Homo-oligomer: A and B are copies of this chain.
Amino acid sequence: MKQSKRKKLETKGWKVGAAADFLNLTPEEELFIDMKISLSRSLKELRIRKRLNQVDFAKLIKSSQSRVAKMEAGSASVSFDLLIKSLLALGASEKDLAKAIRL
């Protein structure tokens, strides 16, 4: 993994693998994180395109501004389930999600 990418993840609460050791990140773990980050990006993009601020979007999905911020920051404490629910709430289709995973 590139040094720059590693640094980025460390700050977001990602403790991957048993040893929380970024040197031992398996390819699957990296893919898993990459996909979440991809969804994060799509979420932020979509929210902004809909001209919603984090507070209003949080209300829309019955969550909180802080959690929206964490979603968009690619925080490790956010599940795929929440990301996907959020994207669907913004009107994303299955096709959109399939695309978003890989962006």
Interface positions of A (Cβ within 8 A of B): 28, 31-32, 34-35, 79-81, 84-85, 88-89, 93-95, 97-99, 101-102
Contacts and interface: CB of A to CB of B under 8 A. Distances in A.
Assembly of this chain: how many copies? 2
Contact of A84 (B32, B85, B89): B32
Contacts of A98: 98-99, 101-102
B89 A31 contact: no
A94 B35 contact: yes
A35 B98 CA distance: 10
A94 B79 CA distance: 17
Residue of A34, A97, A99 with highest tally of chain B CB at under 10 A: A97
Nearest to A86: B28
